[in-house]
Amino acid sequence: MAWEARVRVLCVDDNRDVAESLVMLLSLVGFDARACFDGPTALAEAAAFRPNAGVLDINMPGMNGYELARRLREMLGPRLFLMAVTAIGDPDAEQRAAEAGFDLRLTKPADPSHLLSVLTRFRQALSA
């Protein structure tokens, strides 16, 4: 399907296995996905790749996922769909994620079928 090629997902996690596994999973179901392992690299990649969506870890050295989300929003605008996938589960985590610009926050370990379902609905909304 032609519209699938334009759905680009940036997967950012300092755990390389997590980011690369997510890229493989998303690629298998028709997304154009790329992995980055830190915030500064993700910003540089986003400038060229122009993702439609981002799946970001929060706890990363240097630039955390909250700051990365803010900067991605500034760079790519409000149509970017941002999902936090994080081990942070304290009562204020949802609010901090929303304030940083995330559309959704999932707690690790995130169910891959739920994550795929969310991104598939987003892809369908783009094609509508």
Q: What is the pLDDT of residue 126?
A: 83
Q: How many CA atoms, within 13 angstroms, populate the side-chain half-sphere of residue 13?
A: 19
- 64 or 89, which is more confident? 64
CA quadruple 7, 44, 100, 108: dihedral positive or negative? Answer: positive
Nearest alpha carbon to residue 35 among 17, 58, 50? 17
**Most distant pair of Cα atoms in the chain: their distance:** 41
Give residue-wise pLDDT tens across range 70-123: 999 999 998 999 999 988 878 788 899 999 999 999 988 889 999 999 999 999
Region 25-49: mean pLDDT is: 96
pLDDT at residue 5 is higher than 90: no
Name all domains of the chain by residue range, CATH numbers in brackets.
2-91+98-127 (3.40.50.2300)
Predicted model pTM? 0.92
| Average predicted confidence (pLDDT) for the chain | 91
Total count of residues recorded for the chain:
128
The pLDDT-based confidence of 17 (bands split at 50, 70, 90) is very high
pLDDT at residue 6 is higher than 80: no
pLDDT at residue 3 is higher than 80: no
pLDDT at residue 1 is higher than 60: no
